[in-house]
Structure 1
Amino acid sequence: MNEPLFLESVLKERIWGGTTLHDVFGYDLPSDKVGEYWAISAHPNGPSTIKNGQYKGMTLDQLWEKHRELFGGAKEEVFPLLTKVLDANDDLSVQVHPDDTYGLAHEGELGKTECWYIMDAKEGAEIVYGHHAKTKKELETMIREGKWDELLQRIKVKKGDFFFVPSGTIHAIGAGIMILETQQSSDTTYRLYDYNRKDDTGNLRELHIQQSVDVTTVPHVDATKEKEIETLENVEITTYAKTDFFNVFQWDIKGKAAFKATAPYTLVSVLEGEGTLSVESGNFPLIKGSNILLATDINNWSIDGSLQIIASTPGIKI
């Protein structure tokens, strides 16, 4: 094969969504309340479809199941990564995710550790990241008494910020923020607080208070990671995260830059610009909004153009 796999993916309507994913990337939205684009996904709730080559028409979960050789013979039961683009036109609910042990035991799927690259943020936009409770009992009391302003830790954000959000971290994306999220392949979310909002049918959205208390890390641990920057010929590579779950990089390319695989496969999302991806089998145009899988049989590639890319590879659990 030896060619990159371009992916067509699933858009998700959300109560807090908007139209930014069309405005920025030209994606064809089903409504004006689209909040998520599951850009690179093998999750059954929204698998990506391959657009080119001999596997055209297959979904990524089917490819993982039938052609594990394209992923270095990986042994995991499910494809471990999921890349999303989120448009928070309104505040997301305050939520928390379980770790693998709790998620597998209670939900039958992986837990969710994730990270956020802030693609854009309006002036004054903020996220919820962590809490101020010192004990589980204090956490439960503050939740029961609705002391959200005292409990929740809020942080103002700007374009280019990066946050590592391990399982057990109370968090929420605020209005006016667009992010690229790299996460474990899981759709388990425990909603702790939703500003008493009602859905389209006039009902309050379901909360998961006990599960949230069960899985929240107390006291909060700031998991911010120091980024590393390496300048090579025509590319600046920023390493944001090296974890058991995923490794996340930013490639700022100006000109022709050469790359060598550092993992069995690499996920690539083009956030800005355009250019050409070259591999042994040929040249492939890259445009803003492209999402690509570079499988095991692509050991070397080059990208020529002016682009900003977020790339990720699977983590290695020791």
Structure 2
Amino acid sequence: MASHPSALRRTAAYDPRPTIPLPDGHDVRRGADAWARIAAEAGDGGSIAVDTYPGVDLPALRAEIERHLPDATIFDIEELAALSPERIDALIDGNLTDDRVFGVMSHHTLRDFYDPAELDRAAADIEAASGRRIVIGWGATLAPVPFDVVVLADLARWEIQRRQRAGAPNWRARNGDEDAIRKVKRGFFVEWRVADRHKRSLFERLDFVLDTNDSVTEARLLTGDGFRAALELAVTRPFRVVPFFDPGVWGGQWMKENLGISGEDNLAWGFDCVPEENSLLIASGEDTVEIPAIDLVFRHPRELLGEKTFARFGAEFPIRFDMLDTVGGGNLSLQVHPLTDYIQNTFGMHYTQDESYYLLDASDDAVVYLGVKTDVDRDAMLADLHAAATGSTGFPAETYVNTFPARKHDHFLIPAGTVHCSGADSMVLEISATPYIFTFKMHDWGRVGLDGRPRPIHLEHAAANIQWDRDTEWTTHNLVDRVEPIGEGHGWVEERTGLHEFEFIDVRRHWFTDVVPHDTNGTVNVLNLVEGDEAIVESPVGAFEPWVVHYAETFIVPAAVGPYTIRPHGESVGRRLATVKAFVAGTGTTPDSTATHDTTETE
């Protein structure tokens, strides 16, 4: 492997639990204090709705309420009024399909999963009860009751997946023992979409937000005003989401050794900026409340994304950064992503999974598989892939697919439809569009998953999307080593390393030893410090407090921030650093508009 002269400092500096401050005047409650605060707000005879995200441990939540508020009458809206599991299965059958991985995006609302007459009967029972009444469950606020207090018991998607791997079922499903991949499919294509539509409708009326990510018994509480104030503050300054890490059959050791992440034999993925699944940590002194990062996207899409990006994508964060570690591991699966027309017509997604590989590190013999070879025999390639999928033979990948040497700081572009994968012994920062689930595996080198099951292969989908004209010459010219000088100033140089004409994400790299001027130019910026131990992000007008970022940390600069600067900090002063910055192409300004910053950026 390439040497890491500052590895020890990097290990100490990388922050796996970044926080966002809770504004003054708000605090965090927990345990008995949290439930006492909710009860006091409702009064002795008040009605309380605790509307939960699907995946919250409802029996544990009920037990906790009974422990702290023993005089309350508790109504489980799911037991009282939700459709039976069989009726729900029938309702969403067309969305789930028979495929193990892929379904069709749901446009259901939560009311579709409830019986209106049963909701009315439940409301009558709730209003007839005396004393404090508490309605719990996903859809508690659907009961036509004038609630005195509304609580959202929230949960991040990554935590839901962790629980499902441990045996938790989907919502009102009898599938605890089912394949975890199928559980994720049900969440991705149905439950999470429905839940997010419902959750967004509650944000204005929330009195409290309950963090149930760690444990219901130690659930932390924010007031609705505190929740809204923290999100309002977040879009005025740079911030990081809480990363999570996952092992895999091809996983490596680089993140463990360089970022200090432990607890697994290997780490394949480091999800450092996937707001659909990551969390935000809201901090008040030593106390924190964990909320899904997607809440910020829903609450402040214009300030976070920018008007043009919001107009194009809606309240959806379109850029994803994650890390793929194969150092001491193996090749990723050989794969291809769907074209836009295919993903729209087949799965109901409105944009596709374009991506790129930026090499944080690589061994001397590391390669990237990219594009098919010139004059490839497509029928022979597909036949050999089918034979390999049956286990009767291996697949001679190098016969059909180009391999390019991969070196530290190389950037490979991968528009949808391009055959690709990262080889072993490299550390990739994957910069991509958000629809992360749509990977059509073509060959997986004869492996099974960590669960012992064969990893899913989707040759039919892959064959429908491979762009056979992306051959050796085309790939070399269009997708490899596309570095283009853009501008320079005192102590810094800017290069364009990314964006093929088929992709919407533009990537700029800045090498710097001094202050670099940046501007969001009205669209969200996502950055990673790819060289150097430490840098500091500052506002030239003092709009936010100076903020320190460390090596390999991904951070988000909301569109509303406008101008900001980055310079070396701490022991990195006097050294040459680098950031990569991604943004949505076509949402920024023309080159001349940044002339006052002595740069020709086209953001």
SS at 1:140 equivalent: helix
Matches within 5 A, 1:275-290: 275-279=535-539, 280-290=543-553
| Pick aligned residue for 2:344 from 83, 104, 117 | 104
Equivalent residue of 2:247, what SS?
strand
1:316 pairs with 2:586: yes
Counterpart of 1:47? 278
Matched ranges for 1:260-271 at <5 A: 260-271=519-530
TM-score by structure 1 length? 0.89
Residue 240 (structure 1) aligned to one of 483, 497, 518: 497
Question: In structure 2, what is the equivalent of residue 256 of structure 1?
Answer: 515
Q: Distance in 1 between matches of 2:586 and 2:359?
A: 25
Aligned 8 A contact 1:275 1:285 in 2? yes
- Number of the residue aligned with 2:252: 18
**Match 2:440 to one of 190, 196, 205:** 190
**1:181-236 C-alpha deviation (Å, 9 max, x unpaired):** 11010121011011112334544322111111011001224132632223222222
Deviations 1:125-167 (A, max 9, x none): 1121111354654543443454534212222221121111111
Q: Is the 8 A contact 1:253 1:308 kept in 2?
A: yes
Q: Tell me which residue corresponds to 2:403.
A: 154
Do 1:5 and 1:50's aligned partners in 2 also have CA atoms closer than 8 Å?
no
What is the rounded CA distance, in whole Å, between the counterparts of 2:484 and 2:253 in structure 1?
34
> 1:85: which partner in 2?
323
Contact 1:259–1:302 (CA under 8 A) maintained in structure 2 = yes
Q: Partner amino acid for 1:140?
A: L
Alpha carbons 2:352, 2:433 under 8 Å: kept: yes
Q: Which runs of 5+ in 1 are unaligned?
A: none
Distance in 1, Cα, partners of 2:461 & 2:244:
28
Q: Determine if contact 1:95/1:191 at 8 Å carries over to the other structure.
A: yes
Mapped to 2, the partners of 1:52 and 1:81 lie a distance apart of: 25
Higher mean C-alpha deviation, range 200-209 or range 63-72: 200-209
Q: In structure 2, do the counterparts of structure 1 residues 196 and 257 end up closer, same or farther at CA, with 3 Å as the change threshold?
A: same
Alpha-carbon offset, residue 268 of structure 1: 1.4
* AA matched with 2:492: V
Relative distance call for 1:10 and 1:100 in structure 2 (3 A) is: farther
CA contact (8 A) 1:113 1:184 kept: yes
CA contact (8 A) 1:16 1:35 kept: yes
Q: Does 1:35 align with 2:291?
A: no
Give the aligned partner of residue 210 of structure 1.
460
5+ long unaligned stretches in structure 2 = 1-232, 388-394, 588-603
Say if 1:50 and 1:316 are closer, same or farther in 2 by CA, change over 3 A: farther
Q: TM-score, normalised by structure 2?
A: 0.49
Measure, in 1, the Cα distance between the counterparts of 2:396 and 2:556. Answer: 44
Aligned-partner Cα distance in 2 for 1:106–1:32: 37
CA distance in 2 between partners of 1:14 and 1:87 (Å):
9
2: CA distance between counterparts of 1:238 and 1:250?
5
| Cα 1:48–1:215 shift into 2, 3 Å | farther
Query: What CA deviation, in whole Å up to 9, does each residue of 1:104-137 have, x standing for no partner?
Result: 3323434211111111111111121111354654
1:273 is aligned to: 533
Range that drifts further, 129-138 or 5-14: 129-138
Q: CA deviation at 1:237?
A: 1.3
Q: Distance in 2 between matches of 1:48 and 1:96?
A: 29
| 1:199 to 1:261, Cα distance in 2 relative to 1, 3 A | closer
Contact 1:268/1:311 (<8 A) preserved? yes
Structure 1 residues 201, 275: closer, same or farther in 2, change over 3 A?
A: closer
Amino acid paired to 1:193: H
Contact 2:528 2:553 in 1 (8 A): yes
In structure 2, do the counterparts of structure 1 residues 6 and 299 end up closer, same or farther at CA, with 3 Å as the change threshold?
Answer: same
**Cα distance, 1:56–1:163 mapped onto 2, change above 3 Å:** farther
| Matched residue SS, 1:123 | coil
Answer 1 or 2: which has greater strand percent. 1
CA contact (8 A) 2:334 2:441 kept: yes
- Note closer, same or farther for the CA distance 1:51–1:251 as it changes in structure 2 (3 Å cut): farther
2:355 touches 2:414 (CA, 8 Å); kept in 1?
yes
Matched, 1:6 2:269: no
Alignment partner, residue 227 of structure 1: 483
- For residue 143 of structure 1, the aligned residue among 381, 385, 397 is 385
Question: Alignment partner of 2:264: what SS?
Answer: coil
Q: Counterpart in 2 of 1:95?
A: 335
Given the alignment, which residue of 88, 103, 114 partners 2:355? 114
Q: Which has the higher contact order (CA 8 A, sep 6+)?
A: 1
SS at match of 1:6: coil
Task: Flag the 1:156–1:290 CA change in 2: closer, same or farther, 3 A.
Answer: closer
Q: 1:60 aligns with which of 281, 286, 293?
A: 293
Which moves more between the two structures, 251-260 or 173-182? 251-260
2: distance between equivalents of 1:288 and 1:147?
A: 37
User: Compared with structure 1, are the counterparts of its residues 3 and 47 closer, same or farther at alpha carbon in structure 2 (3 Å cutoff)?
Assistant: same
Q: Whose Rg is larger?
A: 2
Given that 1:142 and 1:151 are in contact with CA atoms closer than 8 Å, whether structure 2 keeps it comes out as no
